[in-house]
Chains A and B, each alone.
Chain A
Amino acid sequence: MMTNRPQVESILLSDASIGIRYRVLQVTAKGIIRQRMLDMGLVPGVRLVVIRFAPLGDPIEIRINRFFMSLRKEEAKYVFVEAMGPCPHRHPRRFKRHFHGRF
């Protein structure tokens, strides 16, 4: 079904890195999570930047346009994004891996 979409490097938002700009490709969440995402303007085509992870490693904070929102990693798994390069005002940070599911 997804064959006629041009091939791009699509990753899950839950695997995204801090300080990189992404473009939303697809939202596969269901029910209320999906509704909230759509209400917040998290729709295909929108650009976002991952700002930070919570001190315990989850949830994630992202920036869309001029506002900040948060979502859990398990919710971010329902969002496919493609990387658009580093965000000019933020330094890409590499420490993220250390936090993966650790507490």
Chain B
Amino acid sequence: MADSKTIFVALAGNPNSGKTSIFNCMAGANQKVGNFSGVTVEKVEGTLKHKGYTIRLVDLPGTYSLSPYSPEEKVARDFILFQKPDMVINIVDATNLERNLVLTTQLMDLEVELLVVMNMIDEVEKQKTHIDFEQFERLFGAHVIPVSAVTKFGIPDLLDHIVDIKSGKIETKKYKHHYTEKTENYILQLINIIKQRDSWKGVPTRWMAIKLIEQDPDVLAMIQSSPCREAVNEVLNSVSEDILKFDQMETDVYLAEERVAFIHGALKETVRNAEEEAETFTEKIDNILLHRFFGMPIFLLIMYGIFQLTFQLGEYPMQWINSLFQLLTQFLDGIIPASIAKSILLDGIIAGVGGVLIFLPNILILFLCLSLLEATGYMARVAFVIDKLMHRIGLHGKSFIPMITGFGCTVPALMAVRTLRNRGDRITTMMVVPFFSCGAKLPVYTLIISAFFMPAAAGNVLFGIYLFGIVIALISAKLIKSTAFKGESEPFVMELPPYRKPSALIMLKQTWMRAMMYIKKAGTIILLASVILWFAVSFPKNPEIHNKYETLRLQKGANIVQLDHHEKAEQLPYSVAGRIGIFLEPISRPLGFDWRLNIALINGLAAKEIVVSSMGTIFAVGNDEGNINSLAESLRNDPLYSKAVGLSFMVFVLLYIPCIASVAVFSRESNSIKWALFFVVYSLTVAWIFSFLVYQTASLFGL
């Protein structure tokens, strides 16, 4: 137990109840983001001092209930049960009490020290609704504090209350939520059976009894290994028989109905509403945004806007970052004497850091847009509008955003998958996102098309490649969803939250924290991998070739830059990457690739842009922009290459691992090395199979 001057507080509440805003009001800048142990559910902690006490806040994930069906709810419930916070602050949206209080009654069942915070009290006043707080406290047995996160009203009062409860100045009544007499009888019977057998790690027995009646799988499992199992089952059988017979429903529906009825009755006593059924402001906006004809075009326009913002606007800072690193490289190039250490620093480490930071503008803009959608309430509408199509491939409407983002860059797209609740949906979406051809692959297609195709055909070939990627993605999604995550579909039973004015501060904070998470976790892996890849391309060197070029360089009037290019090209087959390229020839030959294309593909693991520049190195034409034409020409004139090889190469580039960064982010976002490995194997396999089919078919037609 913590000392008496520390108060350990958990914040619970529905999504969209303003929980995060209240948390921010309380904790200010003292925040720490992490994950709940073992799951990818974000955990935000904060500390503050008030009247000599240290208050430790944990923001539980936003949930509608405490059922064991989703990871968020399980996390919230286990946290309250086993971490035993000193008190639970339940934040409810005062404009929508009927639904928000369902969670409150469940928290009452848990017999925690409960403090109910009624948020958005300013809106309630505007609606001319009157709430009788005293009567409310009498009915729920918990203190109620009206606050507004927007106007900051009531926050000091809330902090005072926390301290007063801890110091014993106020005593909460800890009412139990009373069910009907029939239910209470059964609850009592069950408590009597289970409390004799075990201490159940301090889990309240009344809560266990209620959950047993509801047939909660987790609590049933707790009982299964206990000797009281049979006695419990006997009672449970008679409960379900009784309720089915007299009320025609299953026990869980029965208890849910009891809760709703209790809330309904309590609200009748405490809340006087203005007119109930008039069209709300939100409904009026939705009459336009979800219009049966205009809803779709508006939706597409918003999506297009986000895409353009992320990748067009993001282009400028990306160029700045790029030129900054170029300048840095040039500067260091000038002052550090030539050595291996210099090469590691410039071509390995600095290039690697650049590779991490280059994604930052995209990530920041995209996440700002996403949190804007989330904060205003349009995100749920995105899913609402497009769900019918996404559901055909077994996914949820929300998977749409990561997918189209994939056309820009796979890394932010994989991170956008966070907005999905269901793990199966998350993994499946992540598996197929890379097939939406990212922007960095475009230069490769351009090069290959200009090498092997007539200018008139270029557009069609390019379109075909993109379309092919989409088809593969859709088929893969259907395949993965119906095998690995069979029957694990995320229901669409969800709230369409009211439109709200977003808080700029929260949006910026969220975006910033996510960006930092990317830099910290993915960044280190990307950096490490870039350095390893640099070694693989540069070492070992063949000393004879090196000596040959050393003497050439010493000759009068030698073109050092050109000689360097030629040496690099000649050294390549001796490097680790080159040897791997040659080693892989037996399996790449059926696709039409020789060792040189293999090296280009290996280099492409760092980033797809590098495929073109590394081909420049391989074919010793230098890697300047102006040399693209001569590179295309050397590809065209090479006797080993043909249209068939070009097609096969483009298909392979489209489908294989997008880049090391994406693998790093995949593993971090899925929280599973196993899935990250499967992602690597799957994309390589799919790429190989389709390149093989394309090459063999094209060769058959003599292309």
Contacts and interface: CB of A to CB of B under 8 A. Distances in A.
A65 B388 CA distance: 26
A64 B248 CA distance: 23
Contacts of A100: none
Interface in B31-70: 64-65, 67, 69-70
B283 interface: yes
A37 B493 contact: yes
Interface in A54-70: 54-59, 61, 63-70
A82 interface: no
A53 interface: yes
B494 A41 contact: no
A8 interface: no
B385 A55 contact: yes
- Candidate in B96, B99, B261, B495 with the most chain A CB atoms within 10 angstroms: B99
A38 interface: yes
Interface in B611-633: none
Given A54-B290, A55-B290, A61-B384, A43 B253 contact: yes
A52 interface: yes
B278 A27 contact: no
A6 to B, nearest CB: 11
B491 A36 contact: yes
What is the size category of the interface that chain B forms with chain A? 35 or more
A93 to B, nearest CB: 10
B253 A44 contact: yes
B496 A68 contact: yes
A33 B496 contact: no
A37 B98 CA distance: 14
A3 B494 CA distance: 33
A39 B98 contact: no
- Candidate in A31, A46, A68, A99 with the most chain B CB atoms within 10 angstroms: A68
Contacts of B471: none
Interface in A24-49: 26-27, 31-46, 49
- Candidate in B69, B295, B384 with the most chain A CB atoms within 10 angstroms: B384
Contacts, number: 147
B134 interface: no
A69 B495 contact: yes
Nearest to A4: B248
Interface in B285-325: 286, 290-293, 295-296, 299
Contacts of B391: 58, 72
B491 A95 contact: no
Nearest to B294: A55
Given A5-B248, A43-B256, A59 B69 contact: no
Interface string A12-28: 00000000000000110
B257 A43 contact: yes
Contacts of A57: 388
B282 A68 contact: yes
A11 interface: no
Interface of A: 1-2, 4-5, 26-27, 31-46, 49, 51-59, 61, 63-72, 75, 87-90, 95, 99, 103
Interface of B: 64-65, 67, 69-70, 95-96, 98-99, 102, 244, 248-249, 252-253, 256-257, 260-261, 276-279, 282-283, 286, 290-293, 295-296, 299, 380, 384-389, 391, 491-498
12 contacts: A38-B253, A52-B292, A54-B384, A54-B387, A56-B386, A59-B387, A61-B384, A68-B495, A68-B498, A70-B496, A72-B491, A75-B492
| List of 7 A-B pairs having minimum Cβ-Cβ separation, nearest first | A55-B295, A38-B256, A36-B493, A39-B64, A39-B65, A65-B98, A56-B388
Given A33-B493, A70-B380, A72-B492, 16 more contacts: A26-B249, A33-B491, A35-B252, A39-B64, A41-B99, A45-B257, A46-B260, A54-B384, A56-B296, A56-B386, A65-B99, A67-B98, A68-B495, A69-B493, A71-B492, A75-B491
